[in-house]
Amino acid sequence: MSRSEPPADDVEAMLSIPPEKLRRHPQLLYVRRASEAAAKALTYARDGAGRTYDDIAYRYLCACPQVPFVGVETLAGHAEQERRRRQAGLPEDLARLAGQRDYLAHRRLAMPDGHFRVGVERGLLYAMAEPGGEVVGRFPLTIRHRMLDGLSKPQDVRPQPTMSVWRNLTESRWLPLDELIRYARFPQMREASQLVRGVFPGRHHVFVSHRWLDARQPDPDGAQARLVAWHLVASMCDAVRVAYRRGLHAPRQMAPAAMNMPVGVAGSDLAECLLVGVLREVLDDTSVAPVAQELERVGMDAVEQGAAKASEDVGLERLAALLDALPALRPLLERIHIWYDYTCVPQAPRTPEEEGLFRRTLESLFLLQFAGRTLVLLDDVADYLGRAWCTLEAATSLTSTVGGRPDILHTGGPARPSGPATDTESLLSLVHDRQLVIWRGLLDTEVFRLQTREECVRRLGLSMAEAGDLPYLYAGMLSCAVPQGRMSRHALVTGVVPLPDMGEGNILIPMPDYSGGQPVDGGRPVRVIGSLDGWGGLNLRGYVDERQADAGPPDATPYWSVPGPDAVATTPTCHVAVVAECEGEAVLISSWVRRHRAELEKQLRVRVVSGSWTAVDPVPVGHLPYGRLRARPVRADVWVVVGKSGLVANDVGQALCRVVYEARLPAVTVSLDHTEGNVEQVVGDVAPGAPHSGLLSGWGSGYEHPSGLLYMHLYHHLLQWGASVH
């Protein structure tokens, strides 16, 4: 039995501490209880054979101590929440009315006096009194406010990168929006006579990700076509309205300190993308006025009401009648091109020529999404994310869609949702968290070689219509596998936490109540000192291509050292501390660091003498080759913290940078997911206002946690708190 799956009967034996030692050091009792929390959660999660990764994640989170704001959502957890909501929730009409409460509440004209904190949700800025958290003011971000004027800055949506990929998509087929309205359904490719080949500037390209509702016909009654058509028309109307009110070339104002929310006159992300990519290409300040005035005569309310009843517009007759009253708008709709698989890819039975086009299209799906903006049609969340192609398309949209936010339409509701959508409503957080689980499955398969690719897909709970699609699906998952990460107090911390050795048995440590923080403006006190192409440290596909077929298992040791020269060297020594999201990722990055050690030494003019890795895993569902945790004193002239940008700038990576900086040693970070200016030196306090570090005297041998620690217990119980701290 591996350490990653300890049997329940052995948990107490693993964590046993002699009673006499507990009597001498009562604080060890709390250390033991903290270790038990992690061990019991792992044991419960992995009890039983054949569990899917999602099932293990759900059971692990259920077994952890309950705290508010659980950071990770699973499909099983989402299904349970939906079941409880249906049982105890209000009727649909009352629930929708209750959701409008904050929009209808009294709004102050000025911010309240005194100390307060702010939060942003659904387009509203909330002012909450300190202490207590009582809401004392609500302010819509769509209305300019003097408090936000100093925090906002101009930031347009980036245009679609069509020109960078057009050579690779000359064979692609796209359905113009006006043709979709004419058909009032998605036609099969053989009957769609007006498909456009290739991608072009001045057009808006939409990649539609959807479930097939029937094995032979994805949209039997045309409901998906009606929703897509109304949604895109309404978004174009919104773009025209914003361009006229704000100015065609006036940029959108964004407030980074308010969760990067738009301030003042602004449309949806899709409307802003249409404004930048279409309206600015074909209109000017003079020609936009007639289109906007035409829309004002019809009324934006008429557009919104029609979109709200899109599912009832059989044959798109109401939409066609609306467009008859908007003749100046209609030419703009020709510039919206839609990719829908049933229409834009040959369907079976296929000729040999069509089969070749079909396979080439499968290989270029990522580029199709990269060239356009993904529109997800969502009804049954569990079924959508349980289908391999849909999951791949949703995951790809997070990395390839401009802004990283796909547009999401709930097919059981209106084409234009009322009010700004939250992450929960749009299910972006669920898709993000789904990527965490997929990443672990791929690492188990490719780094640790514990299962076949077919077994990996099965344990991820993904279904495929055709077994022959597996090579394309798996290659796609490898290409967009790396998740952005999400911190959770339930994250399992394993590996080695390196701490500066100050000599004479003293080490510098984060205080037990350490909590990370960031300046109000979101900036970090760092100085860019160079660039390092470190993407290879996260490139699992490159790792697979370079790996030898007969290569042995990777070295999972969480601490390694390099023998020094015989003579005294003048080059500063360096310790490389890898901070990763799971043990598989830690092994992947550490192996890259060791292979490219010379490049790192040349860049920083140091001599790497040791390295370590720390895994902070919010969903420990993958293989745990080490599965333990301990602190280790490290003596080096320079420290380099390596990992994804979010990990090196927050939580454990931030704590390491802080103690190194306070030890008066150079602290350098390398963000592997960036390519330019990603080597930075810490030049100030990275966690202002957070508890400071302390000097621990009488280190001794330390304490090993046999199953790791939850992040909520990390700084309290990592060490034996018996020696003096100052």
pLDDT 10s digits, 420-462 = 444 445 567 788 888 999 999 999 999 999 999 999 999 999 9
Residues in the chain: 726
Give the residue, 67 or 248, on which the prediction is more confident: 248
CA gap 14, 687 in Å, rounded: 36
- pLDDT over threshold 80, residue 665: yes
CA gap 343, 190 in Å, rounded: 8
pLDDT score recorded for residue 257: 58
- pLDDT over threshold 50, residue 80: yes
For residues 454 and 675, is the Cβ–Cβ distance under 8 A? no
3-state secondary structure 221-286: CCHHHHHHHHHHHHHHHHHHHHHHHHCCCCCCEEEHHHCCEEECCCCCHHHHHHHHHHHHHHCCCC
Helix (H) / strand (E) containing 421 = none
pLDDT score recorded for residue 83: 80
- pLDDT over threshold 90, residue 418: no
Give the residue, 11 or 259, on which the prediction is more confident: 259
pLDDT score recorded for residue 299: 92
Within 13 A of 526's CA, how many CA atoms are on the CB side? Answer: 25
Query: Average pLDDT, whole number, for the chain?
Result: 84
Helices (H) and strands (E) in the chain, counts: 32, 24
**Axis-axis angle for helices 428-446, 388-400 (nearest 10):** 110
Of 158, 319, 337, 159, nearest to 237 by C-alpha is 319
How sure is the predictor about 533, in pLDDT bands with cuts at 50, 70 and 90?
confident
For residues 513 and 654, is the Cβ–Cβ distance under 8 A? no
Paired residues of 118 in beta bridges: 127
pLDDT score recorded for residue 479: 82
CA gap 26, 45 in Å, rounded: 30
CA gap 601, 614 in Å, rounded: 21
Helix (H) / strand (E) containing 78 = helix 75-88
| DSSP calls for 284-342 | -TTTHHHHHHHHHHH-HHHHHHHHHTGGG-GGGHHHHHHHHT-TTTHHHHTTEEEE-HH
Mean pLDDT of 706-716: 92
Count the neighbouring beta carbons within 10 Å of the beta carbon of residue 274: 28
Contacts of 514 (CB under 8 A, 6+ apart): 655, 687, 690, 691, 693, 715
- pLDDT over threshold 50, residue 191: yes
For residues 471 and 392, is the Cβ–Cβ distance under 8 A? no
- pLDDT over threshold 70, residue 530: yes
Paired residues of 573 in beta bridges: 607
How sure is the predictor about 119, in pLDDT bands with cuts at 50, 70 and 90?
low
Of 352, 605, 647, nearest to 486 by C-alpha is 647
**Residue 547 CA to its chain's centroid (Å):** 28
Nearest 5 degrees, angle CA 703-CA 707-CA 708?
A: 65
Give me the amino acid identity at 627.
G
How sure is the predictor about 258, in pLDDT bands with cuts at 50, 70 and 90?
low
Integer distance in angstroms from the first to the last C-alpha of the chain?
A: 43
- pLDDT over threshold 90, residue 44: yes
Residue with tokens 């808006």: 204
CA gap 128, 130 in Å, rounded: 7
pLDDT score recorded for residue 127: 75
pLDDT score recorded for residue 208: 96
Task: Provide φ and ψ at 653, rounded to 5°.
Answer: -60, -40
Q: Under DSSP, is residue 183 helix (H, G, I), strand (E, B) or coil? A: helix
pLDDT score recorded for residue 451: 94
Neighbour-count burial for 16-51, b at 16+ CB within 10 Å, e otherwise: eeeeeeeeeeeebeebbebbbbbbbbbbbbbeeeeb
pLDDT score recorded for residue 148: 62
Pairing of β 492-503 and β 629-634: parallel
Per-residue pLDDT reduced to its tens digit, 556-573: 999 999 887 755 678 899
Mean pLDDT of 306-319: 93
The structure tokens listed for 155 are 């930031």
Per-residue pLDDT reduced to its tens digit, 149-160: 666 789 898 888
The sign of the torsion formed by the CA atoms of 625, 631, 637, 641 equals positive
Task: Provide φ and ψ at 126, rounded to 5°.
Answer: -105, 130
Least confident of 22-26, 181-185, 514-518: 22-26
CA gap 219, 648 in Å, rounded: 46
- Where does 510-664 have alpha helices with state H? 540-546, 583-595, 597-604, 645-649, 651-662
> Is the bond into 154 cis (omega within 30 degrees of 0)?
no
